[in-house]
Amino acid sequence: MNIIRPIQPNDYDSLYGIAHASGVGFTSLPVNKELLISKIDKSVASFKQAVTQPGDESYLFVMEDTLTNQVVGTSGIVSSVGLDDPFYHYHQSKVVHASRELDIYNTVDILTLCNDYTGVSEICTLFLMPEARSGVNGRLLSKFRFLFMMEHQHRFAETIIAEMRGISNEDGQSPFWQWLEEHFFSMDFPTADYLTGIGQKRFIAELMPKYPVYVSLLSKQAQAVIGKVHEKTKPALQLLEQEGFSCRGYVDIFDAGPTVEANLQHIRSAHTSRRLPIRVKSEVEQAQTSYFVINTKVENFRGVNTHLQVSPDNSFAYISQQAADALNVKDDDFIRFVPTHFRT
């Protein structure tokens, strides 16, 4: 069984391996020992912290294979982005150049540097090792976060965003960044991506174009990738779109990948989830529908994919002893759950 749990200090080696495997463009996990240890420490402190409203907390979870005791994936939530460091995006919009006397009317696409998402919550750092990419593991690693946020709403903002990885090649070269590099930055995409990942973002304000960028002035290759996702990111984007996320014209400043957003109350897995006390049952019918299930704890959080049965009067959820042990719950403790797949 795979379980989701908060990351711990002794998970460093696993996290480093995941950071290395994730490759260029996965900004939230740079291959940097000091930064990775800092991320773990901040996450451990965030889970322990008593919170009344979202602040600078950052929650990092891992997926552990209980058969091998190996960490096979990560997933994260940032309570409020942009509170310590500016959180940059390009916003796509239009300007009109018109002359009534000359009967000329041109609509032009522009990109404007902004900090519009400051203070929202972000789901991030989702990576599943190739050997674990089977069944519903990827869905569990993504969707459990919506249950966690729904259960602990006071810890998060109403708006949730996800930055989707944009297009780059195997060498980490981004067509969009290549244009910026040529005209403004004089550093390659992997370097810029790495500096951002370790928190050195001052160069963005110092070197980024100060005025809106006319899209028509970009190279054809750069124009073609604006708002597009990396081939490996398409399944993740599709999953989020099914949950109700959509892009409102914000793209990453490095690779122009889209940022999608949704209101927590409108995320399908969040608002359709149910919360019930449990009864441990020796045998739970293996119905066709399985569920993503979490306990209602913070520091001792656990999440799994399992079968359950709801009592006829909807007062209890019956789960197996194995699932109860994985979730660290007992009779009368509460769980929150949602089907692994929605009926269409």
Active-site choice (230, 266, 307, 341):
230
Using an 8 Å Cβ cutoff, are 6 and 75 in contact?
no
Give the Cα separation of 324 and 214 in Å (integer).
Answer: 56
Give the Cα separation of 123 and 146 in Å (integer).
Answer: 9
Cβ neighbours of 312 (radius 10 Å) = 7
Residue 313 C-alpha from the chain's centroid: 36
Cβ neighbours of 160 (radius 10 Å) = 26
Known catalytic residue at 230? yes
Of the candidates 90, 157, 147, the one whose C-alpha atom is nearest the C-alpha of residue 305 is 147
Q: Residues with Cβ < 8 Å from 229, sequence gap 6 or more? A: 164, 165, 166, 167, 237, 257, 258
> How does DSSP classify residue 85?
S
CA torsion through residues 329, 332, 335, 339, sign? positive
What is each CA distance from 104 to 97, 98, 107, 194, 215, in whole angstroms?
8, 5, 10, 45, 20
Give the Cα separation of 291 and 319 in Å (integer).
Answer: 11
Q: Judging by beta carbons within 10 Å of its beta carbon (0-12, 13-18, 19+), is residue 211 exposed, middle or buried?
A: exposed
Cite the active site residues. Answer: 230
